[in-house]
Chain A
Amino acid sequence: MSTPILELKDCEVHFPVYGGILRHKVATVKAVDGVSLDIHEGETLGLVGESGSGKTTVGRAVINLLRATSPDVHLGGQILYRTREGRQIDLNGLSRREMRPLRAEIQMVFQDPFSSLNPRMTVEQIVSGPIKLHMDLDRNARRNRVHELLEKVGLQSSYASRYPHEFSGGQRQRIGLARALSTNPRIVIADEPVSALDVSVQAQVVNLMEDLQDEFGLTYLFIAHDIGIVYHVSDRIAVMYLGNVVEFGTAEEVFRTSKHPYTRALLSAVPEPDPDGKRPDRIVLEGDIPTPLAKPSGCGFRTRCPIARPECAAARPNFETFSDSHFAACPYTETLNEKGTPHVEPRV
């Protein structure tokens, strides 16, 4: 395979927590704790996990947004981006000034279409913002580009003079996509792009994202908690739990032959849109995700794992390899079936 367009190597994001009267550091939230991933040009990598799994933080680390809100954050490991010229740059070490030109190439679509568009700006101002910063176009050319982009995402170009409040959630998400595409990016990080939308509108936005990917050769990092949607759009899927990737493989491998007990529990927890499809063999996990402030030692999942053993507390499990592309961080996966957690093929 070609060199990946984006490669995360042992990526760490640790947020300090301050407390006491003197606001000294009292703890560390290990939001992302050693994540390694590679994304190839033109593919969609799905990142799935529950709240607190660190999936959003991975996305924000890639576009270097974390220091803006938490200047003291510890960023470890490497985030290697391959530029159009084939040079590899470690995004982790970049200052804001060095990052700026790269932002044109790596764009983001946010979850909440209501708070991610400035209510005082017209659609034209919103979409042309990145164009002003990154492209050398005069006013007319900019305007034409905005109109062109709006039509690409399925909105009328006459909407350019309107304000965000005049649009529905699905239309706002289209505006967000137009903004992301304005600088001809290579990678788009989509953080829960459809989870705030009504069911009937989700499908429209998913289809649009796929069309845009084909047309512009985009690479997507698609972050979502909805496994059905992630399976539908992704070529490969990484499952995250408590700051770690626990399983990584092609969509088929992760879905049909999942090896990690968490992946199996997650897949079996998804309700079926079919009254005759009720699963007698659902794995209902006990308890909640532990807080990343006090992660369990060793394997992060062992406190809820149906096949946990005392050894799981000792060290973080390494990835076991199941095929060229399929990895799972559990050494006891072969005992899954014996322990009453058979693989249930989800019918999402």
Chain B
Amino acid sequence: MTQNKPLLEVRNLHTEFHVEKRIAKAVGGVSFDLNAGEVLGIVGESGSGKSVTSLSILRLIPDPPGKITEGEILYGGRDLLKLSYEQMREIRGREIAMIFQEPMTSLNPVFTIEKQVTEPVLLHEKLNRKDAIERAVEVLSAVGIPDARRRLKDYPHQFSGGMRQRVMIAMALICRPAILIADEPTTALDVTIQAQILELMQKLQGEREGSSILLITHDLSVIAEMCDRVIVMYGGLIQEIGTIRDLFGNPLHPYTRGLLASIPREENKGKKLYAIPGNVPSIFDFPSGCKFCSRCEHVQDRCREEAPELRELAKGHLVRCHFAEELS
């Protein structure tokens, strides 16, 4: 992990959705740095705001009903939130690219793979078609699609799920972006295919010096395999940030500890699994004070009244809990 100036800085990001005359605060003040060369994970359950955070970075929040109401996203000395639509198009795909969860629905079924994979270089680098095709063959081969030149003429339905996810990765990487945002890239895949895709992402990351990955997932095991640092989100807020060794070795937030404890492990066979009580509240029903207080086993009156701040307890290890020191 390099300790230079971060590649991307997210500062106090707020994103809201207007739903049925109510305001749903999906992200309520998120700040973090993405350093050059690192893989940063964001882990959270549905409704935690992890996907909305990643979509906000690329300004892909549908507006209306969504709106980024506050904050800065600094990349290369510019605030992405202040750029015009055209300037933002220059960034997307070229500087910051994204792979989505659903390889089945994220590719357009009526265009060939050639059309979809070459589009970013035709648009951003003004390559001619011949060179663009050469680049597409190169990048499709790099992601492990056999016989790439012939398969350019194929349509998405002719590929399996794992192969489509490879095509998505090829599409995202063809302009050699500095940042790759991967939103649940392996969730829809079988575990043996997931292993292929994770290995591929690691290999490509190693080859592209200084480039970073922001990996969004609900699966702590994937985080443990892939990431240098990890952010735990709940209720639209960062609850804990740390290196993966901090987080897995010395989790500070009760929510993080609950998540880790609820993973079935071999030594617990035959015993009860730990379960975090209750359900993730609907976005309108999160408590005031600490977002997790309605499910926390260590809740005290202060938690319901006063929202905790994100505090740095050890270097680079931050937690949003009033009682983190006493509980650990």
Contact = CB atoms under 8 A, between A and B. Distances in A.
Contacts of B275: 200-201, 203-204, 207
Contacts of A339: none
For the residues of A in contact with B, the DSSP-based class is helix
B178 interface: no
B190 A51 contact: yes
Interface stretch (B123-131, B220-228, B298-306, B314-322): B220-228
B20 interface: no
Contacts of B245: 275-276
Interface in B228-271: 244-245, 248-249, 258-260, 262-266, 268-269
A229 B264 CA distance: 6
B272 A207 contact: yes
Contacts of B282: 168
A277 B225 CA distance: 8
A274 B199 contact: no
A269 B274 CA distance: 24
Interface in A301-348: 346-348
Interface stretch (A102-110, A118-126, A181-189, A281-289): A281-289
B321 to A, nearest CB: 17
The listed residue with most A CB atoms (<10 A of its CB), out of B196, B259, B266, B295, is B266
Interface in A238-275: 251, 255, 265-266, 268-275
Q: What size tier do the contact residues of chain A reach? A: 35 or more
A94 to B, nearest CB: 33
A288 B224 contact: no
Contact of A270 (B163, B191, B218, B258): B191
Nearest to B269: A232
Contacts of A266: 191-192
Contacts of B61: none
Contacts of B279: 168, 170-171, 201
B218 A199 contact: yes
B324 interface: no
Interface residues of B, number: 46
A167 B1 CA distance: 43
B222 A271 contact: yes
A220 interface: no
Q: Kindly name the residue among B225, B264, B268, B276 whose own CB sees the greatest number of chain A CB atoms within 10 A.
A: B264
State the majority secondary structure of interface residues on B.
helix
Interface in B72-123: none
B288 interface: no
B224 A272 contact: yes
Contacts of A282: 195, 199
A228 B295 CA distance: 25
A50 interface: yes
A203 B221 contact: no
B219 A348 contact: no
Contacts of A51: 161, 190
A46 B17 CA distance: 42
Interface string B159-173: 011110000000000
Contacts of A251: 269
Given A207-B275, A288-B162, A348-B264, A269 B46 contact: no
Contact of A288 (B163, B225, B260): B163
A4 to B, nearest CB: 22
Contact of A228 (B193, B195, B263): B263
B192 A265 contact: yes
B198 interface: yes
B192 A285 contact: yes
A347 B265 contact: yes
A271 B274 CA distance: 20
Contact of B219 (A170, A204, A210, A271): A271
A200 B259 contact: yes
Contacts of A228: 263-265
B196 A285 contact: yes
A269 B191 contact: yes
Given A200-B262, A202-B262, A274 B273 contact: no
Contacts of A84: none
A266 B191 CA distance: 7
B24 interface: no
19 contacts: A168-B282, A198-B218, A199-B259, A200-B259, A203-B262, A203-B264, A203-B276, A206-B273, A225-B191, A227-B191, A228-B263, A268-B195, A271-B222, A273-B260, A275-B224, A275-B244, A275-B248, A284-B192, A284-B196
Given A203-B273, A232-B269, A272-B224, 17 more contacts: A168-B279, A199-B262, A200-B275, A200-B280, A202-B262, A203-B264, A206-B273, A227-B191, A266-B192, A269-B192, A269-B194, A276-B245, A278-B224, A282-B195, A346-B266, A347-B265, A348-B265
